[in-house]
Amino acid sequence: MSPVRFSVVTLFPELFRSWLEGALLGKALAAGLVEVRFVDPRAFTHDRHQTVDDTPYGGGEGMVLKAEPFVAGIEAAAAAIPECVAHRVLLSPQGQRLTQGRLQALAARSHLILVCGRYEGFDERIRASVDEELSLGDFVLNGGEVAAMAVIDGLSRLVPGVIGNSASLQTESHAAGLLEHPQYTRPREFRGQAVPEVLLSGDHERIRRWRSQQMLLRTRERRPDLWAGFTPDAEQRALLAAADAEAAAAGDARSPAATGAPPGVAAAAALGPVSIALLHHPVHDRDGQVVTTALTNLDLHDIARSARTYGLERYFVVTPLTSQQELVGRILGHWRTGHGANTHASRAEALAQVEVAADLDAVIAAITARWGRSPLVVATTAARRLGQVDEAALRRRWEPGQPLLLLLGTGWGLTGELLDRADAVLLPLCGPTDYNHLSVRSAAAILLDRLFGLRQEHGPPA
């Protein structure tokens, strides 16, 4: 088997020497499973000072790495192993975030060239000589060498023979898009904390199911960003439903495991995972006609912040218009992975819970697929109609472990067809006056506080 080859284009190859002698990677190098070479761009300079950087055009702070020596270094690294097609990676905070899935894809490459930057950054023209850019995350390092080490270390573990027990790779964090389950070893009890009984049972199938369930719960609680992109299969949905029902039956309705809320957020009265949907179609206009309304940035942000505050699992923005769906995608991209993610982490956290759907059927299908059970659909309206329920009556109809979906309408409210389709319609919000024209953002915040807010007697969230 041919080794996986890495060529590192760096001004500081000496930073790697002691690190490469580490246990697993050192053995992999000695066994010929992995090769690491270094190319110093200084070797491709033509002045006695071996200049690799210069001041930026247009002025500004710092020094910029020159295109000529780095491009020459990249080309030399590729030419040094002519039998392999080189894949060239620029390590940059502007790159796509490195994930386990990306490492697995890169593991299929026989030769990776990792280009490490320094100082203020690269001459933009260097980017024309690489195939992709990767970043460890939304932060800045002194140079790309640490990022190169992370790529080499993470990818080498996927090379057959580097890890003794290759089966362990399948249950590690991120291997299947989930965080790893809890691990225990001796002693059986430590400072009052005992090893879970299931791990002592000897029942391998029961242990497997428990570990799978813990991976799901831990990811849902700790990493809503990962959870948003994960689709559980039938067994996983059943495991989640069982965990939610058990938590609710134990009276742990405020726990993240019962509600699907991230740590530190508790939906006080929730019996199961809660989502909210803002519908832009079908809704009425002021003349009673059925229309499609345009989304607003305020609705997107403010309802997301309310949903995050009260521990909701998802906020669906529902519009059939492709242009509006794309607009939501661009806004979310700015706050999740773009400039906004670096400047306002709490806003990015709230918007991580937003999903776009074309219609109500798509929302219900997504919730059903996620939780293995169709939601209790609860509509809202500012109008009076027969059969409306208050919050207490709604809770009596809500079964433990059942997802709940709150529907909000834009424009002049949801159509009668949608209200008739709902399992329940809440009584309208009323103040002490005859004025009844709350914005949908205000209505959402009031409803969520009435349904899930902690009152003074409850104390702070657990």
Q: Is the pLDDT of residue 176 over 80?
A: no
- Residue range 238-248: average pLDDT? 83
Q: Given this model, what pLDDT does residue 169 score?
A: 55
State pTM to two decimals.
Answer: 0.55
3-state secondary structure string across 74-117:
HHHHHHHCCCCCEEEEEEEEEEEECCHHHHHHHCCCCEEEEEEC
Q: Is the pLDDT of residue 341 over 70?
A: no
More confident residue, 307 or 391: 307
Q: What is the pLDDT of residue 34?
A: 96
Instruction: Please write the tens of the pLDDT for every residue from 406-415.
Output: 999 999 999 9
Q: What local confidence, expressed as pLDDT, does residue 133 receive?
A: 94
Question: pLDDT band at 452, cuts 50/70/90?
Answer: confident
pLDDT over threshold 60, residue 187: yes
Average pLDDT over residues 239-254: 73
Lowest mean pLDDT among 2-6, 36-40, 170-174, 325-329: 170-174
| Mean residue pLDDT across the chain | 87
pLDDT at 437 over 50: yes
pLDDT score at 250:
74
Residue 110 pLDDT: 94
pLDDT tens digits, residue range 413-431?
999 999 999 999 999 998 8
Q: Could you report the per-residue pLDDT of 70-107, keeping only the tens digit for each?
A: 999 999 999 999 999 999 999 998 899 999 989 999 99
Domains (range + CATH), the chain: 4-156 (3.40.1280.10), 256-458 (3.40.1280.10)
pLDDT in the model for residue 401: 84
Distance, in Å, from the CA atom of 178 to the CA atom of 200, rounded to the nearest integer, reads: 24
The confidence score (pLDDT) of residue 165 equals 57
pLDDT exceeds 60 at position 23:
yes
Confidence of residue 13 (pLDDT cuts 50, 70, 90): very high
Q: What is the pLDDT of residue 252?
A: 55
pLDDT confidence of residue 379: 97
Query: What is the per-residue pLDDT for 255?
Result: 45
How is residue 121 written in tokens?
Answer: 């950054």
Q: Compute the average pLDDT of residues 50-68.
A: 93
How confident is residue 267, by pLDDT bands cut at 50, 70 and 90?
A: very low
Kindly state the average pLDDT of the residues 295-315.
94
